[in-house]
Amino acid sequence: MVFSSITFLFYFLPSVLAIYYIVPKKAKNFVLLLSSFLFYYFGEPKYVLLMAFSITLTYVFGRLIAKYQKTEYAKLFLILAIICSVGLLVYFKYANFLIENINLWLNHKIDFIYVALPIGISFYTFQMLSYLIDVYKEEAKVQKNIFKLAMYVSLFPQLIAGPIVRYTTIEEQIENRTHTMKKFALGVRRFILGLSKKVLIANVLGELVSTFLASKEMSILYYWLYAISAMLQIYFDFSGYSDMAIGLGKMFGFEFLENFNYPYIAKSITDFWRRWHISLSSWFRDYVYIPLGGNRTSKIKWLRNIMIVWLLTGLWHGAAWNFVIWGLFFGILLILEKLFLGKQLEKLPRLLSHIYVLFLVMISFLIFNGESTAQILQNIGGLVGIGGVPLVSNESLYYLKSYFVVIVIGVVGATPLLKTFVNLPKIKKISNLLEPIYLLGLLLICTSYIVDGSFNPFLYFRF
């Protein structure tokens, strides 16, 4: 089940909210636990037991780590817990990728494992790992109630598409959280805006991306349309889901941390990754980069640490070489900025630094979307006419006219311009009065798109 579906919007969510607010306070977490497992069952019926098994392991290891705190046994149990959690992730997500490459490099014929990737396994695995590591470091109290731990891990607003919510972020909220009409209203507002980003911008631009990939009439203009549309689609899809998750969290009394902060206005790649998928980049920083030594080591080891983090970041997004290349691409750029490029960027006019970031990020998403090295090189080369493609074609002109308005809306929406305008004192008064009307209008338009069976991909199957 996905958020942008009729089943979720008009059956599942209203039913859960009604039951949640009817039952007494002591039963609210239990309602969330049952509804979260039901939510996951709709999408992955055979893997709901896998998630339950993973949660049970995490609970047992967490109790053992806490019991033997400050002894070698605690470290041993943490290592065993990491091996178990990462082992399951590797088996379900990376086994066939490893087999494919072993067969290729060593000329073996190992049979593939026919197993589907459980939705959201990368997200909930990282959440369980952060909990266990924080318990070991005594930065979080061990959760002695397995049902409360299970509710944290399986909480449906962030289960399949993030953000990666750390236990320490909502540790107190699991026991005590406030429910107010204001918070609920803000949650509904955030959810509708996120749904609109997903359905009205990401999905529409996704149609153009799919049309380009199926086309044989290429031109420089068409390559640029594809590159810009893919870049905007990924942002509005990812950030839209994060908005919906944060909004749903508020409806149930939770406060999740922000996951995107207008990354396309960044002035450097370093700045971009402070704004893009914040929960993921901060997770790798705190649980991989810093434990490896961070930048408090020799320069060689420091550069090694950066490349390890970005190799893992690439692999986290999917079991394919394009994701590995994508991660290493950012790793190299970040190293260059830290060594010397960053100082040069600070001297550039803001417009040029923005162009630098946007161009490299656009190239990165051509790598991200590429199914093969040949396709990646072709799409990047097509931007400058390599391969003898013409400047324009009838098809590219048609799609430019058809999608121009959506692209402009996407470009403006990826900046804080609209937010700044709406928050102007005189505009804000009018906006507050009209807000219920335009939010209802957005919900109705989104619903019509979904009912019409419009293009509605779920990009998180690979995660």
The residues carrying an active-site annotation are 317
User: Which tokens hold the place of 295?
Assistant: 């930048």
Q: What is the 3-state secondary structure (H, E, C) of the chain?
A: CCCCCHHHHHHHHHHHHHHHHHCCHHHHHHHHHHHHHHHHHHHCHHHHHHHHHHHHHHHHHHHHHHHCCCCHHHHHHHHHHHHHHHHHHHHHHHHHHHHHHHHHHHCCCCCCCCCCCCCCHHHHHHHHHHHHHHHHCCCCCCCCCHHHHHHHHHCHHHCCCCCCCCHHHHHHHHHCCCCCHHHHHHHHHHHHHHHHHHHHHHHHHHHHHHHHHHCCCCCHHHHHHHHHHHHHHHHHHHHHHHHHHHHHHHHCCCCCCCCCCCHHHCCCHHHHHHHCCHHHHHHHHHHHHHHHCCCCCCHHHHHHHHHHHHHHHHHHHCCCHHHHHHHHHHHHHHHHHHHHHHHHHHHCCHHHHHHHHHHHHHHHHHHHHCCCHHHHHHHHHHCCCCCCCCCCCHHHHHHHHHHHHHHHHHHHHCCCHHHHHHCCHHHHHHHHHHHHHHHHHHHHHHHHHHHCCCCCCCHHHHC
In this structure, which amino acid lies at residue 160?
I
Cis omega (within 30 of 0) for bond into 163: yes
Q: Say if residue 391 is exposed, middle or buried (CB neighbours under 10 Å; 0-12, 13-18, 19+).
A: exposed
- HSE, CB side, 13 Å, CA atoms: give it for residue 430: 6
User: Which tokens hold the place of 168?
Assistant: 């320490």
**Rounded alpha-carbon distances, angstroms, from residue 203 to 40, 143, 214:** 23, 40, 17
